[in-house]
Chains A and B, each alone.
Chain A
Amino acid sequence: MAMRQTPLTCSGHTRPVVDLAFSGITPYGYFLISACKDGKPMLRQGDTGDWIGTFLGHKGAVWGATLNKEATKAATAAADFTAKVWDAVTGDEVLTLAHKHIVKSVNFTEDSTCLLTGGNDKVLRIYDLGKPEAEPLEIAGHTSAIKKALWCNNDQQILSAADDRTVRLWDKNTKEAVKTLAFDASVSSMEYIPDGEILVITYGRTIAFYNANSLDLIKAVDAPASIHSASLHPEKDFFVAGGDDFKLYKYDYTTKEEMESYKGHFGPIHCVRFSPDGELYASGSEDGTLRLWQTAVGKTYGLWKCVLPEELSSENSEVLYCPPAEIKA
């Protein structure tokens, strides 16, 4: 029997959701942080979407958010010219790092001791969280605002994407650009998969996959609409992408064929990420919501329950929420 995807809508934000990130798998499950233009990033339980808390303190739109692997620390990048580090268990603000312009991206190293920031002042900064008063290491080179900055190659190198239509690979120690990729259009998103050293880049309608060490192109796929974000499944059998047409697309990574597309959001999709166990993916949209989607539609996981037809009509069935049937256009 064919099952239709039921996305779980996480409400709470009052403005567009522009970034989201998952933690690793911890003894308490995995977690999800969302960055929103309302200035109030939120932490949620990753498999259910249940709200855990809101990080209060920023005075402007939050453009980037991240969690460390253990989900004990969070970092956010905001339009108030600061990046903040938070205790992700208590919700308390731990550190405020002043910048000279809007901060767009934050990323922890694997051991959570350093934080990488990048933003509209075009400079990458590395902060030692053990010595927060010390001046950060600065890496300059981009000629336009930095959109995304990520650690890669065991935290020895840095990948950055900027509005100057380049993606650059930097060596952390020499602070030099090792490689540069130039594009015809602005890069809308970047994802780094350490296991397999794959870099997922989106620009225009293209979702491209690169080797993160050599920056050699592995493959590229064109979507029906302009794509803002894409994510590769941990087992590298699927990838998902979303953008201007409000739809989420699911592709087979090996064959590059479009498998499914899902409607649901009421605005362009700004970010999409697979969970660390690959069982679901989360999307954030201009409509102010996050939605969770199943990778294997119909499987019992999180709040989704696989129900056999006999159970639906049985008198003893537990109370289940069955979404009303929507007629697809």
Chain B
Amino acid sequence: MTFILEIKRSSGLRFRRVLNETPVSVLRLPRGPEPNSRGFDPTSPRFIALCPTTLPSSSSSSGSADEEEQRLRAELRERFLRTLLLMTGKRVRFDMHEHVRVHARFGASDIDVLNLQVCDLETPLGVQREALLRSQDVIACSFEV
């Protein structure tokens, strides 16, 4: 008899507890990972504030070495682009892999310098009116300034 009463009382208490307790409200759920990105948003305030100087290696002395390297790189890039401009319309000798050496009139390169557009490409099979040379196949090019 006592046993049954105790069960009733304990289940009654549990029932009352569920009714009285309100779950804490939540504004939203935590944001999960983006499927195609590893995150670390570069536009976040923390990234913008901390990014260049997060690590001890970015002390002021190596900062100026970085700037010098940047300046040299910019200079070399500019020289390369001016060379391409100068090459336009000229007869250029292309030294390529597998001991291939051809002459052609240089037209232009694409934005990433992946392909070079040339005309009158002299090949062992004859002269090709228009052609595209793959930059990664070209070892060197030379021309008369």
Residue A305 at the chain B interface, CB threshold 8 Å: yes
Interface of A is mostly: loop
Task: State the CA gap A308–B112 with chains docked (Å).
Answer: 61
- The one of A28, A54, A322, A325 that contacts B38, using a Cβ cutoff of 8 Å: A54
Does A49 contact B50, Cβ atoms closer than 8 Å? no
Residue A91 at the chain B interface, CB threshold 8 Å: yes
Task: State the CA gap A73–B56 with chains docked (Å).
Answer: 11
Interface of B is mostly: loop
Residue A1 at the chain B interface, CB threshold 8 Å: yes
**Set of chain A residues within 8 Å of B124, measured between Cβ atoms:** none
Q: Which 5 A-B pairs have the closest CB atoms?
A: A53-B39, A49-B30, A91-B40, A53-B40, A4-B21
Residue A25 at the chain B interface, CB threshold 8 Å: no
Task: State the CA gap A94–B56 with chains docked (Å).
Answer: 12
Residue B31 at the chain A interface, CB threshold 8 Å: yes
Binding site for A on B (CB under 8 A): 14, 17-18, 20-34, 38-42, 44-47, 50-51, 54-56
Give the shortest distance, in Å, between B52 (CB) and chain A (any CB). 10
In chain A, positions 39-89 with a C-beta closer than 8 Å to chain B are: 42-44, 48-56, 72-73, 87-89
**Set of chain A residues within 8 Å of B42, measured between Cβ atoms:** 90
Residue A215 at the chain B interface, CB threshold 8 Å: no
Knowing A1-B20, A50-B31, A72-B50, say if A320 contacts B39 (CB, 8 Å).
no
- The one of B26, B30, B56 that contacts A305, using a Cβ cutoff of 8 Å: B26
Knowing A50-B30, A54-B33, say if A90 contacts B40 (CB, 8 Å).
yes
Give the shortest distance, in Å, between A85 (CB) and chain B (any CB). 9
A-B contact pairs, 7 of them (CB 8 A): A1-B22, A3-B24, A5-B24, A43-B40, A52-B41, A53-B41, A304-B25
**Set of chain B residues within 8 Å of A55, measured between Cβ atoms:** 38
Chain A interface extent, by class: 35 or more
Does A325 contact B23, Cβ atoms closer than 8 Å? yes
In chain A, positions 292-314 with a C-beta closer than 8 Å to chain B are: 292, 294, 297-298, 303-307, 309, 312
Task: State the CA gap A307–B32 with chains docked (Å).
Answer: 25
Does A44 contact B30, Cβ atoms closer than 8 Å? yes
Knowing A87-B54, A90-B47, say if A52 contacts B40 (CB, 8 Å).
yes
